[in-house]
A and B are shown apart, each in its own frame.
Chain A
Amino acid sequence: MSKAGLSLFDTRLAIPAIFESFRKLSPVVQWRNPVMFVVWVGSVVTTVLGVHALGGHGEAPAAFILAVAAWLWFTVLFANFAEALAEGRGKAQADALRATRKNGVAKKLASAARNAKVQVLDSNSLRKDDYVLIEAGDIVPADGEVLEGVASVDESAITGESAPVIRESGGDFSAVTGGTRVLSDWLVVRVTANPGEAFLDRMIAMVEGAKRKKTPNEVALTILLVSLTLTFLVVCASLLPFSIYSVGAAGAGSPVSITVLIALLVCLIPTTIGGLLSAIGVAGMSRMMQANVIATSGRAVEAAGDVDVLLLDKTGTITLGNRQASAFIPAPGVTEQELADVAQLASLADETPEGRSIVVLAKERFNLRGRELKDALFIPFTAQTRMSGVDLGVQAAHKAHEGDIAVAAPATRQIRKGSADAIRKHMQTVGGDFPKAVGDAVDDVARRGATPLVVADGTKVLGVVELKDIVKGGIKERFAELRQMGIKTVMITGDNRLTAAAIAAEAGVDDFLAEARPEDKLALIREHQAAGRLVAMTGDGTNDAPALAQADVAVAMNSGTQAAKEAGNMVDLDSNPTKLIEIVEIGKQMLMTRGSLTTFSVANDVAKYFAIIPAAFAVTYPQLKALDVMHLNSPASAIMSAVIFNALIIVALIPLALKGVKYRALGAGPLLRRNLLVYGLGGILVPFAGIKLIDMLLGAAGWV
């Protein structure tokens, strides 16, 4: 993906965008944006007036009218350019994504069975609920759900993660994404999306202006902009009769010209935000895409800015995926080294990350090396026993039949590690006892938010291994920022309350839900929503689907099941649950950019009034010169300067529209004060300076 390397005005994007901005001059395109449509009409009218004036009977000198007309056209073109540039950037990203899904062939199956009749056809002609066979080396032709088979799939085209993943029917790994490649084995897949409806297609549609649906807030803002435009239309239209009356009353001057009224109208209506509004929306979508998140609607992106509560799974989001051994706590009469030694023995064959971390810890602390074990039988962890370990001194005869059930002769030494409950039960069966000190140590460890693992050798309990959740670096600061933004974080975990509380405290989340089952998650979301809060969450499993569907912003992991993806309104291609925080920021940034530029645009009008009103009516009422606080060269120069400033400010703000207003993790009050100062007060002051400067340049060039 060409994520990086596209500077803002990269020629590869800017040149096509220039062509595009001329193509967008068509009234059909302009009609979509009422504010710019008014400018477009104004440009046409002034051009006609200017051409008419060339004959010498114009309402003003032809050069002046045509200069105004030219700058009005530039205003339209600059707005078109902003939109085209944003679209170009979006498309470049989309194309990179789209390149991954070249149309290929699909092996359509007559029924959902491996050996059904195969029909080879174009992958674009697949429809929802078709069945396809995908074999090693094939590109997955469409998003779908695995019905049969197990295969390793290379999803690097979508996720950038090079390690292949396993996809199989049933469970949480049953979804395949179009464009990925099956590396080994085969799959029978049910297609879950029609062509053009897959996530990627929806996302691509959202960065292409023509197909882009306005988001709800964009619609509301457009209504405001249109009503401002209408107000100024009435204001400017009524100025003609007012002016005619004033000329009659004062007996001096001539009525204001249509050209000046159009210039005033264009300067007053919110062209800055009107011209950049769609660029802001497109840029927001493409920022999402840059973050490797595919949103199914603009509404979802907007909602992300409003989120009040984030539900975060503990594992993988707040803590690193795996717990790690952090301490050996021996029972009375046992040395720490003895405990470490036995624990390591019990874990040598344990390939789980927890098991490996015990081996590593023992090595680090007591320099105990892994060793070859003779006559050993490894007992894997099962859900029934909830223990694992090793039996030593098992007779060779039994070893010969590996895979058989090892029941024959009792082992000479039974080493076990497991949860406190499991070992307690085990002690009862083998006739050992469970020292109270160990029980206390177990409680201590649990209170610290770690997981206690009890180690037993034969009938003797040796002590406790502390397995600790490792909270991700920097996560606490992230949560503090979120709190500043007024967003509450809730940690969801299957751990017991004690453990959960300890980790919650360490990570700095506001609240936690312990021993959570999927239905608890759903209930929690409903509870928050009933209290009037918007909830965001991430999920990947099928059992997350109801909660995802209920949440206001639901980010499904790309590695998750099809059900989860369908229920969510965004998919994170990186399957990184921490991404939720970034998503919230992008949503906020998009709204902030809109609000700030609208404020800026409206605040600009004050200076424009001071430039144009004295200029327009000075011939009737010379005393109005007193309002010309900028002391501009001449009425014509004042009007030209205002129009030119109005056009150039659009170009000047394109980078801001595309990059977005910088987001700061501040509370609502300070943030508002800051933005009001920058865009409100700045919006009032900047045009005074800008118009004066342009006026001086025009004067210096001798054009006015």
Chain B
Amino acid sequence: MNSSIVFQTVMYLVVLFVLAWPLSRLLATALDGSLSSRFAFLGRSERALCRLMGINADEDMPWWRYALALLVFHLIGAVFVYAQQRLQGSLPFNPANMGAVSPDSSFNTSISFLTNTNWQGYSGESTMSYFTQMLSLAAHNFMSAATGLAVAVALIRGFVRRKAAGVGNAWLDIYRSTVYILLPLSLVVAVFLVGQGVIQNFAGYKDVKLSETVTYQVPKTGADGQPVKDAKGNPVLVDTKTAIQTLPMGPVASQEAIKMLGTNGGGFFNANSAHPFENPTPLSNFVQMLSIFLIPAALVFMFGRWVGDARQGLTVLGAMTLLFVTMVGVEYWAEIHANPILTHLGMSGLPGNMEGKETRFGIVASSLFTVITTAASCGAVNTMHDSLMPLGGLVPMWLIKLGEVVFGGVGAGLYGMLIYAILAVFLSGLMIGRTPEYLGKKIEAFEMKMVAIAILATPCLILGGTALSVMLDVGKAGMANPGAHGFSEVLYAFASSANNNGSAFAGLSANTPFYNVMLGIAMWFGRFTVIIPVLAIAGKLAAKPRLAQTSGTLPTHGPLFVMLLVGTVVIVGALTYIPALALGPVIEHLQLFGR
């Protein structure tokens, strides 16, 4: 078992790096425009499209224009996704006859998919028509990932350019990311997944007869959609019998590929990648895990390539890998320990905590997937995170709270990590007696201001949102689990939203107007209070001259800087969240094992 986790992790990383290296070349040539100048027809079609849209393809946007373009793009997208959900009942490709989605859920979902969060308050198979899934949700899976790429590229340009006014053209960056990178990769992955058994059809839902009648209990819901609770505050359960199971269908594979590649994570079905139609085999599981880190890893290689020093990229990658491997270790360690309540009852403690896990994946692949999906801002799950052991749940929650900088979201992981790098450089630069610089750019008051906003915003959203929810009755109403675990669920929900992850501790009834609105706000501000400062930094850095590296300059490559970067990420993450984590998973762990 132990050797299995080591083997799987090592094999995973090796395959990842082997694939990411060549991909980084494609990324660089696609995003710096050399691909479209080498193949004239690509350049011509770019220009034709720009003319059609009334965009000046040659414009080199200053950072605020770039940010404005992204905001406009998102606002239009939000209106579009919202409208489609509300009107889906009268739109085509709706064999299951899904009606209009509620306004608050539509609001939440539109922001969720635009911001690359893919938090899902709804269940896909019982809420969305195929048309909505494909045109609104899958489409925004592409565009939100492209946005992340664009922002990362703009930041890299900030480091590379000297005394430049602009950071690139937002429209071109989004177009090139989508058409040259995301679409072809998704096609390959989708076809592979279909080969593994992922479904892809427009058929209606299929009813199949069960071999025996099943009795199960469902919580009773009142007129307001809230679970009805008895006098003790426990939900009222009703016995239900059935002999028929309904199998939902749909164009799953096409959405599954970009769900992973774009670190979106929004499942076609509620069970997400635990569902056999989404993720049928260990091999499909491996490919899905690879897809999550593929572009983020390639982007880091590309970063090194683009700034003209591959070591810079390797250093960032080293820091990410170190954090990743450590977290996999902790997660696995937490999950091979069975729940002591069960072992006290005489159950075997082997193979560990299997609650909420698929037997076809087991503890190793489940732990690995859990860490990968929360290290990146993916949020797809093949395991119920709510059923992880307390410390097993702390790992994904904390990875999310670090800002998902361990490989991270497409683009978002790199720019998030570079924000930490700027912070690390600021302190360590001072410690060697120089005003700080990173990659030859001086880090001054303006950059620090933006770094402060980017790092400060998400803790405010997470802690503020959680505090509000545990104080208000509407917030507490959604909590099915009392005590520290219920607290963890709310904390996880806000962490996941504000950092645009999208995975959830289930157990929290989040599809209520209160949570839909609160989490929607957290997702929107969580995304843009980082993107806008990052673009501002890019703009300011691009305007600066690039200083020469001497032996007196702080070397931002090599093991020392890896440790420094890891230290900065961990210290910031620890100092901000220790009290909250102490009252959530830590106390839960102590209570569980302290008996």
Contacts and interface: CB of A to CB of B under 8 A. Distances in A.
A227 B452 contact: yes
A248 to B, nearest CB: 9
A672 interface: yes
Nearest to A585: B433
B470 A667 contact: no
Contact of A675 (B431, B483, B547, B575): B431
Contacts of B482: 249
A626 interface: yes
Interface residues on A, range: 35 or more
B456 interface: yes
Contact of A672 (B451, B456, B554, B580): B554
B429 A595 contact: yes
A245 B487 contact: yes
Among A220, A487, A621, the one with the most B-chain Cβ atoms within 10 Å of its Cβ is: A220
Nearest to A226: B452
Nearest to A673: B560
B487 A249 contact: yes
A220 B456 contact: no
Most interface-central of B463, B486, B487, B576 (chain A CB within 10 A): B463
A483 B552 CA distance: 8
A668 interface: yes
Contacts of B591: 621, 623
Contacts of A596: 430-431
B428 A676 contact: yes
Given A532-B547, A588-B434, A623-B594, A235 B576 contact: yes
B459 interface: yes
A599 B427 contact: yes
Contact of B430 (A303, A488, A595, A680): A595
A674 to B, nearest CB: 9
Interface string B515-533: 0000000000000000000
A448 to B, nearest CB: 31
A617 B583 contact: yes
A263 to B, nearest CB: 13
Given A246-B484, A592-B432, A595-B429, A624 B590 contact: yes
A592 B464 contact: no
Nearest to A224: B448
Contact of A668 (B432, B574, B578, B587): B432
A305 B433 contact: yes
Nearest to B470: A245
Contacts of B433: 305, 587-589, 591-592, 595, 663, 671
A486 interface: yes
B580 A238 contact: yes
Contacts of B456: 227, 230-231, 234
A297 B578 CA distance: 42
A396 interface: no
A244 interface: yes
Contacts of B554: 668, 672
B553 interface: yes
A609 interface: yes
Given A599-B431, A623-B591, A668-B553, A238 B464 contact: yes
B376 to A, nearest CB: 24
A668 B428 CA distance: 10
A532 B580 contact: no
B538 to A, nearest CB: 18
Contacts of A672: 428, 431-432, 554, 560, 564
B460 A242 contact: no
Nearest to A214: B445
Given A231-B459, A676-B564, A223 B448 contact: yes
B431 A595 contact: yes
B547 A224 contact: no
A249 B582 contact: no
Contact of B444 (A220, A623, A626): A220
Interface string A215-240: 01101110110110011101111111
A598 B468 CA distance: 33
Given A617-B582, A676-B564, A220 B487 contact: no
Interface residues of B, number: 66
A672 B551 CA distance: 12
B432 A249 contact: no
Contacts of A587: 433
B440 interface: yes
A240 B579 CA distance: 11
A242 B470 contact: yes
Highest count of chain B CB atoms <10 Å: which of A224, A595, A668: A668
Nearest to B549: A532
Contacts of B427: 595, 598-599
A448 B582 CA distance: 73
Q: Which of A250, A532, A598, A663 has the most CB of B within 10 A?
A: A532
Nearest to A256: B579
Interface string B22-47: 00000000000000000000000000
A511 to B, nearest CB: 13
B342 interface: no
B513 interface: no
A630 to B, nearest CB: 16
Contact of A216 (B445, B464, B575): B445
B444 A594 contact: no
Contacts of A603: 571
B119 to A, nearest CB: 21
A601 to B, nearest CB: 11
B522 to A, nearest CB: 14
Contacts of A627: 582, 586
A308 interface: yes
B559 to A, nearest CB: 10
A237 B590 CA distance: 25
B452 A242 contact: no
Nearest to A533: B548
B574 A302 contact: no
Contacts of B452: 223-224, 226-227, 230
B430 A221 contact: yes
Contacts of A609: 575, 578-579
Contacts of B281: none
Nearest to B544: A532
Nearest to B453: A227
Most buried by B among A231, A242, A483: A242
A403 B576 CA distance: 88
B108 to A, nearest CB: 23
Contacts of B397: none
Interface in A466-506: 483-488
Contacts of A598: 427, 430
Interface centre among A250, A306, A484, A589 (most CB of B within 10 A): A306
Interface string A457-468: 000000000000
A531 interface: yes
Nearest to B587: A621
Interface string A118-159: 000000000000000000000000000000000000000000
Contacts of A621: 484, 583, 587, 590-591
A242 B548 contact: no
B255 interface: no
B583 A216 contact: no
Interface in A249-308: 249-250, 268, 302-303, 305-306, 308
Contacts of A592: 430-433
B249 interface: no
**Counting chain B CB atoms within 10 Å of each CB, which of A236, A245, A588 scores highest?**
A245
17 contacts: A219-B445, A220-B445, A227-B452, A234-B460, A238-B466, A242-B579, A245-B470, A249-B482, A483-B551, A533-B550, A534-B547, A595-B430, A621-B587, A668-B555, A672-B431, A676-B428, A676-B564
Given A235-B580, A588-B434, A617-B582, 8 more contacts: A216-B445, A234-B459, A238-B466, A241-B467, A243-B583, A308-B547, A609-B575, A668-B554
Give the top 5 A-B pairs by smallest Cβ distance, nearest first.
Answer: A486-B552, A595-B430, A588-B433, A227-B452, A595-B431
